[in-house]
Amino acid sequence: MFPRMLNEFAPVFRLHDEMTRMVDSFFDDDAAPAARRYAAAYPAVNVWESADGSACHVEAELPGMRMDDLDVSVLGNQLTIAGERKIGAAAGADAAGQSGPGDGGSGGSGSGGGGWQGVSWLRRERGQGRFARTVALPWEIDADHVQARLHDGVLTVTLPKHESAKPRKVKLLPGT
């Protein structure tokens, strides 16, 4: 009787084993890079090559940031966007006619938290603090001709290809 009962539950045991294997592989160190590929990174970026292949363009979402808060640098084939995101009184919101909770519009104590100190958060999804995001491109960048613009919270960086990375027409010689 017991062996027959085991046979009837065999599909359930197989399902259990398969589910255990799938969950274990998700958290396995070898699977971690694939899982991290979809992890949130700040700032969110779009990267594309121009139609003529002469440059790469990067757009980064940086709402509420000012150029003074950002550092854009290029080294070899890498673009790095770094900065500090400040929220509420820490960003000087009181100067824009906004104030953090409980600060009465005074701008807080100037300690970086201002009127946000002592509040009871119900939901806090907007992070603050230092960040850095590096994007590696498959070719060298002409660092002398890089342009960066910040408009309406979107940073647009144009990264021309270095001359050594651009295709060249090769002159064909007659065969002997």
CATH fold group of domain 40-86+128-165: Immunoglobulin-like (2.60.40)
136: Cβ contacts below 8 Å, ≥ 6 apart: 77, 78
Please give the mean pLDDT across all residues of the chain.
Answer: 76
Are the CB atoms for 58 and 159 separated by under 8 Å? yes
Whether the predicted pLDDT of 65 surpasses 80: yes
DSSP assignment letter at 154? E
Question: Is the sign of the CA dihedral 122, 128, 129, 134 positive or negative?
Answer: positive
Residues 69-109 pLDDT 10s: 999 999 999 999 999 988 765 555 433 444 444 444 433 33
Report pLDDT for 42: 85
Residues 143-159 pLDDT 10s: 999 999 999 999 999 99
Written as one string, the DSSP assignment of 117-167 is TT---S------EEEEEEEE-SS-B-GGG-EEEEETTEEEEEEEBPGGGS-
> What are the extents of the domains in the chain?
1-34, 40-86+128-165, 93-124
Report pLDDT for 26: 62
Phi, psi of 65, rounded to the nearest 5 degrees: -90, 150
Nearest to 64 by CA among 44, 36, 92, 45: 92
Q: Which helix (H) or strand (E) holds 37?
A: none
In the predicted model, what is the mean pLDDT of residues 49-73? Answer: 93
119: Cβ contacts below 8 Å, ≥ 6 apart: 100, 101, 102
Single pTM value for the model: 0.60
